[in-house]
Structure 1
Amino acid sequence: MLSYILFIATIGGIYGLLALSLNLIWGGVGMVNLGLAGFFAVGAYASALLTTVGHGPIAAGWLIALVAGGVAGLVVTLSTTRLREDYLAIVTLGFAETVRLVASNEIWLTRGTDGISGIPGPWKRALGPDFNAVYFLIVVLALLVVFFVMRRIDRSPYGRALRAIREDAQVAQVAGKPVLRFKTEAFVLSAAIAGLAGALYGHFTSYIAPDMFLPLITVYIFLAVASGGTGRPAGALVGAYLVMTLLESSRFFVEWIPGVTAVQRAALKELLIAVALIVVLRLKPSGVLPERVPPAPRPS
């Protein structure tokens, strides 16, 4: 039972990183990124290939995942500089599907739909059954570092500039803010965090495959940020664990329903999650922890 709880808590922490990543650009700048699963996959495959094929250290794998996610984010941002709102969302969704299809078909690089197995975990053999507990602490440490950075950004003049762009990019540009540079920097940082989350996921499960990076992951993270509180890092974390709790608890609820098939159970599970989140958003339209915009400092 303890091992199962640690597993869920670790995956929840990884979802928390993805939620912080999405909250930075959606809650901070107002950019809709439907390709979060793609950056998640880029980081997972980059780290997995470096540590399995290249026999590199795990720490280097995490670092290369950060870089790979950031570079992918930079490429996507530079190719969509003139796109806004719905069009940006469509392009990022297409990017995620492109990554998944490349991973499925380029067998020489990604081993196709068979996936990459044997991804090493830090001190996994030496730790034995204690591996889940140690890895949970590693994920919590990464989560705290990213959360601290996000809070510092949120409360800084840089964060206020991002929110100004979110509210009205034209007004921010007239005020002298380099809107394109701010958007690019935020998107690259967000993609890098998603890449790190992918690397942590791969080294925890020891196996990755293209069907693990479906668009449904992006949907779950959007639900997490919306239910936790858009624009607030703490809300993103609360939402991530809320969604994770709903995902796992609904698994047990549908088992108690008699006379339904496995396919119907899967559909009922998604229905229960949807109903629960509708109730949360009905009671808390701005999320469990709504955004609190700190006042600007008074001039001395």
Structure 2
Amino acid sequence: MDVCQSQKDNRTTPCRMTTPWTIEGYRGLPVLVVEDNPINLKMIRSQLKQLGIDMIHTAVNGNEAVQLARQNQYGLILMDCQMPVMDGYSATALIRANEGQETHTPIVAVTAHALPGDREKCLEAGMDDYISKPVRLQRLFEALQCWLPAQQKIGTAADAAQETPESASISQKGSAVPEALSAPEPALDAPPVDFGVIQGLLGVTLEELPLFSHLFVLFFTESGEKMEKIRFALAVKDIGQVCALAHALKSASGNVGALGLSRLYREMELLARSGVMDGLASLYEQAEKEYERVKAALARFCDSD
């Protein structure tokens, strides 16, 4: 894949930008990120580093998360909900069972669902909070401010003390509307990539954004493979596989500001989840065309730098 290839060699390691929300001097326990999607994992690691968190452990499924939580103490666990091997709900329940009454590690769900009933499901599993994908940098900062051990946070940003409704736990703010439910649909004539979305996710200026072009390269590598798998799954009528792949692509597309493409994958996921094959092939064809528009837009952006 040659998209952003000119930036790939000398920009594979993002440098930390100055953001209004940076947590300076954190020297507490590490943060565990549990996420099976490589582009989502890369994005949230970049965001955590932007916020001043350097001690980051990762797991790609719930089983790995449970094992790591047994071996280490964490200041916070960011837990994906839908993963292979073991999902985030089951992993959280096992972590809570292993902790007993003496310890309570804050666990924040990171979910691409944000559907009615998700809050209750997170609470039942033992989670403390949840944030929706794609995760905005400010929202992640609020979660860190709310849940990282207070005595280990040093020199936080001035506006950190102003708690917003989103930064309270889901047990306290059950009526809060998940951000994914209130987000507007992209206009029909919207550009294929909204670079303002990526800036908001990373907390960077447009001039700084090319430093993160490695995320675009990873997106096309991963999404190209998954689209081929969807094509095969449609051919053999494996609706469960279509649902899982569309779910992953929906989230990854949102992380690069491809809102129209993300919407198409969401429609595919919902249709597949309902068990309906009719219409999936048509949505996939639309997604293929939109994917090419996204690819061209990101390539133009990289070439213009």
Fold-level match, TM-score > 0.5? no
Higher helix share: 1
Q: Going by fraction, where is strand more abundant, 1 or 2?
A: 2
TM-score, normalised to structure 2, is 0.28
User: RCO (CA 8 Å, sep 6+): is it higher in 1 or 2?
Assistant: 1
TM-score (norm 1): 0.28
